[in-house]
């Protein structure tokens, strides 16, 4: 479990660093544009690609923590055994779609690499940014699989989203 927590912490750090980089790039480019009439070249393209990476690395954290939007009306009305079956099915479907997304993003990354797509001003290759996005999706595939395994094996307690939020807050304050 310690290795999983370290893995998740690493994902959170990467996501935070990416978000910080986007913020710094946008602030610096905006200051450059309005204060010196000289924005950072390709800042829009780089920020756009980094935001995509932020989203997918953040999705990896959500894949483990289960903080995504969910409707608990049906699940809350069931017993623990049926709740486990419903949640297992839902997480399995999420794992399937995440796997398909990993496959498609890998295709887009390889395509960008083969076609040598570049940014407009600085001529920076785009494929490393796509690769960063793909790595975030790959991390999310692992975190979703871990969560599914924990649900199926009974290691993950199945509560409603509201009860889980309350538990997370009380756990974080300890």
DSSP string, 76-107: HTS-HHHHHHHHHHHHHHHHHHHHHHHHHHHH
Per-residue pLDDT, 32: 93
pLDDT category, 18, cuts 50, 70, 90?
very high
pLDDT at residue number 157: 64
- Burial group, residue 11, by CB count within 10 angstroms (0-12, 13-18, 19+): buried
Identify the pLDDT of residue 87: 85
Q: Count Cα atoms within 13 angstroms, Cβ side, for 119.
A: 19
Contacts of 27 (CB under 8 A, 6+ apart): none
pLDDT at residue 163, rounded to an integer = 53
Please state, for a pLDDT cut of 70, what percent of the chain lies above it: 86
Report the distance separating Cα 25 and Cα 105, nearest Å: 24
* Distance in angstroms (rounded) separating the CA atoms of residues 168 and 112: 40
- And the tokens for 171? 């756990």
**What is the structure's pLDDT at 165?**
55
* pLDDT of 132 higher than 70: yes
* Mean predicted confidence (pLDDT) in 73-99: 85
Look at residue 79 and tell me whether its pLDDT is greater than 90.
no
Q: First-to-last CA distance in the chain?
A: 19
Average pLDDT, the chain: 86
């Amino acid at each position: 479990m310690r290795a999983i927590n370290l893995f998740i912490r690493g994902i959170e750090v990467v996501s935070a660093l990416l978000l910080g980089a986007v913020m710094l790039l946008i602030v610096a480019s905006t200051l450059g544009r309005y204060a010196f009439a000289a924005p950072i070249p390709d800042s829009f393209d780089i920020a756009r690609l980094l935001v995509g990476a932020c989203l997918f690395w953040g999705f990896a954290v959500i894949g483990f923590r289960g903080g995504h939007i969910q409707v608990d009306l049906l699940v809350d009305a069931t017993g623990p055994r049926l709740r486990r079956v419903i949640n297992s099915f839902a997480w399995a479907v999420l794992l399937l779609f995440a796997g398909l997304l990993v496959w498609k993003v890998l295709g887009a990354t390889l395509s960008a690499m083969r076609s040598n797509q570049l940014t407009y001003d600085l001529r920076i290759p785009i494929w490393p940014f796509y690769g960063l996005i793909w790595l975030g999706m790959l991390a999310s595939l692992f975190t979703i699989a871990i969560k599914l395994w924990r649900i199926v094996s009974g290691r993950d307690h199945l509560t409603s989203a509201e009860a889980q939020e309350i538990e997370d807050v009380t756990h974080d304050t300890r």
